[in-house]
Amino acid sequence: MFSPKTNKIVITGGHLTPALAAIAELKKEGWEILFIGRKHALEGDPSLSVEYRVIKELGISFVPLTAGRFQRSFTRYTILSLLKVPLGFIQSLYWVARFKPNLILSFGGYLALPVALSGWILGIPILTHEQSVIPGLATKIIARFARRVCVSWPQTTEHFPKEKVVLTGNPIREEVLKKYQVSSIKYQVSNEDLPLIYITGGSLGCRPNFTQALRKIPDYSSMWRLAGL
């Protein structure tokens, strides 16, 4: 299934967009990539996840993982989730040992934790990247045995040991930088006396914040919203 290439890397984690940017560069350099992630979008949902569809379209080996979430509060799903933790670890240990990567690259999330832990047990270097200002629980745990912790924001460096943390910024796909240069964006303003407002956001706070903004500033002539890059 896997070739005996010298440069092999396992990529895992919940943040797909920066992972795709890293994948593009690694493919240029001839790395063999194994992506470990979710095959289905939600538990019990037969729909295939975005990461599964995108990674398969890129021709990259994909291994689906069954893993439980580490929850901060106890709910009716906590016990079931905890029962999946050892299963996810066994699966991760098997695939990491079989693939024999030179490096494990994590992009956070509960799926990345058993993969990173497997790498640590097998003596494989681990690199983790945090995109948010405040790191998630999984990333905080992974950082304890990772060689390096890359962050996107200066404020995030405070959450990790100084000898490990590196401020890299957020990986961005090359095609996005080429296609969406600021100088190439053209827009029409019906009333030049009014300012142009640009709103961007992501994750759970994006929709309510954008809706609230529309209610507060209905009289501005032009408004741009950026999403999905």
164-213 pLDDT, tens digit per residue, is 999 999 998 887 777 655 544 555 555 566 666 767 766 655 667 777 77
Is the domain of 110 the same as that of 161? yes
Summarised one tens digit per residue, pLDDT across range 91-122 is 999 999 999 999 999 998 888 999 999 999 99
Residue 167 has phi, psi (to 5 degrees) of -85, 105
CATH number of residue 57's parent domain: 3.40.50.2000
Q: What total of structural domains would you count in the chain?
A: 2
Eight-state DSSP code of residue 49: P
Is the domain of 44 the same as that of 129? yes
Is the domain of 117 the same as that of 161? yes
What does pTM read for this prediction?
A: 0.77
Q: Which residue segment(s) compose the domain that 218 sits in?
A: 187-226
Token pair recorded at residue 160: 């990790």
**88 falls in which pLDDT band (50, 70, 90)?**
confident
In a domain, 179, yes or no: no
Is the domain of 121 the same as that of 18? yes
